[in-house]
Amino acid sequence: MKRGFRRLTTLLSLGVMTLLLSGCSNDIIVLNPKGEIAKHQMDLIYITTGLCLLIILPVLILTFFIVWRYRNRPDSKAKYKPEWEHNTKLEVVWWTIPVIIIILIGIVTVQYTYKLEPSKPLEHEADPIVIQVTSLDWKWLFQYPDQDIATVNYVQFPEDVPIRFELTSDAPMNSFWIPQLGGQIYTMSGMAMTLHLIADEPGEYLGSGANFSGKDFAKMQFVANATSQEEFDQWVEQIKATSPELTDEGYQALAEPGVSEKVTYSGLPENLFERTVAKYGSKHNHGSVEHDEQTHDEQERG
């Protein structure tokens, strides 16, 4: 047993070392948030981890202590009570401890669930910019209805302006995730989901498809680039000036299975996003009725 403990400690220190060597917390992007939503999520992760540790750590210590103390040795001075099998007080104690911890975690969870509901608009003086996201086999299409441009595997937006992502899929379901800005949301055909995010500072952030969608799913990473408002406006102008238009035929070709580089388009086909959603019939509206209303006011705007 002694040998066992020694091995365990070596193991633990090895684990800590790998953690430290792995380039520290900057790479652990979920814990290095750059947007309001992701910051709240990180707080929540820390709070709930802390609450869990409150019960886990004593249990781990107790385990080692008990195993050590009551292991069978000839000269053991520990008590031995083979018939002792019940103690109401003790049992009440350890039914109560987890109940209390779970109540605490539960309360925090409820609060944050309403606060961070992804379809809820963020409170901010600026009006949100709308970006329509379509997951395709195996690439991401981003449409900017107000700017009348589109990009593939590359999304850019101004910092400190709320972004209203509207998401759907024209391929098997996927999941849209920019960890440093906030948690993921599924993209599903026949339905438009909403995800509100914001970037607090400029930077290039990793984005990816998180839900397996077939052969080249691993290639569905994209760059999310937050810039200043001026840079963003210049970027839009530049795309308008230099890029080809996205046509219906162009979209058909793009939607064919296959991987893609970054591409930019000026000009969008009329209501492409709404038509992609509608293509699958309008049956798909689990969750809130909001989905339908959104699609409607998008149609008014478009």
Partner 1 sequence: MWDNIKEFASEFFVTGDPLIYGADVAIGLSIVAIVFVMTYFKKWTWLWREWLTTVDHKRIGIMYVIASLLMLFRGGVDALLMRTQLAMPELEFLSPEHYNGIFTTHGVIMILFMAMPLMFGLFNLVVPLQIGARDVAFPFLNSLSFWLFFWGAMLFNVSFVIGGSPDTGWLAYPPLSGIQFSPGVGQDFYIWGIQISGIGSLMTGINFIVTILKMRAPGMKLMKMPMFSWSVLSSSLTIILAFPILTITLALLFIDRYLGAHFFTLDGGGNPMMYINLIWMWGHPEVYIVILPAFGIFSEIVATFSKKRLFGYKSMVFALMAISVTSFFTWAHHFFTMGSGANVNVFFAISTMIIAIPTGVKVFNWLFTMFRGKITIKTPMLWTIGFIPCFVVGGMTGVMLSVAPADFQFHNSYFLIAHFHQVLIGGVAFGYFAALSYWWPKVFGFKLNERLGKWAFWMWGIGFYVCFMPQYVLGLMGMTRRVNTYSWDSGWWELNLVSTIGGFLMGIGFLFQVWQILHSIKHMERDTTGDPWDGRTLEWTIPSPAPAYNFAVIPHVNERDSFWEEKQRRERGLVPDPQPELEPIHMPKNSGIPFIKSFCWFVVGFGFVFDWLWMSIPGVIGIIACMLAHSFNYKTDYYIPVEEIKRTEAAARGSI
Residues sharing a CB contact under 8 Å with residue 281, sequence separation 6 or more, in sequence order: 190
Q: Please say whether the beta carbons of 278 and 191 come within 8 A.
A: no
Scan residues 166-225 and list those touching Cu ion (CB under 5 A): 188, 191
Half-sphere exposure of 193 (CA within 13 A, CB side): 21
Q: Where in 12-31 is the site for partner 1 (CB under 8 A)?
A: 14-15, 18-19, 21-23, 27-31
Q: Rounded to the nearest whole angstrom, what is the least distance from the CB of residue 118 to partner 1 in the complex?
A: 7
Give every CB contact of residue 250 below 8 A, 6+ residues apart in sequence: 244, 265
CB of 173 to Cu ion, least distance (A): 8
Q: CB under 8 A: which stretch of 66-74, 123-131, 152-160, 240-248 binds partner 1? A: 66-74
Q: How far apart are CA 243 and CA 9, in angstroms?
A: 59
Nearer to partner 1, 125 or 297 (CB): 297
Q: Examine residue 121 and tell whether it contacts partner 1 (CB under 8 A).
A: no
Subset of residues 69 to 128 that bind Cu ion, contact rule: CB under 5 A: none
Q: What does 277 bind: partner 1, Cu ion, none (CB cut-off 5 to 8 Å by kind)?
A: none
Decide: is 212 part of the binding site for partner 1 (CB under 8 A).
Answer: yes
Q: Check if the beta carbon of residue 116 is closer than 8 Å to that of residue 234.
A: no
Angle at 248 between CA 245 and CA 251, to 5 degrees: 80
Q: Among residues 122, 210, 236, 263, which is the contact residue for partner 1, using CB under 8 A?
A: 210
Residues with Cβ within 8 Å of 110's Cβ and at least 6 positions away in sequence, in order, are: none
Residue 228: both structure tokens together: 């200043």
Query: Which residue lies nearer to partner 1 by CB, 151 or 211?
Result: 211
User: Does the footprint of Cu ion cover residue 239 (CB under 5 A)?
Assistant: no
Binding site for Cu ion (CB under 5 A): 188, 191
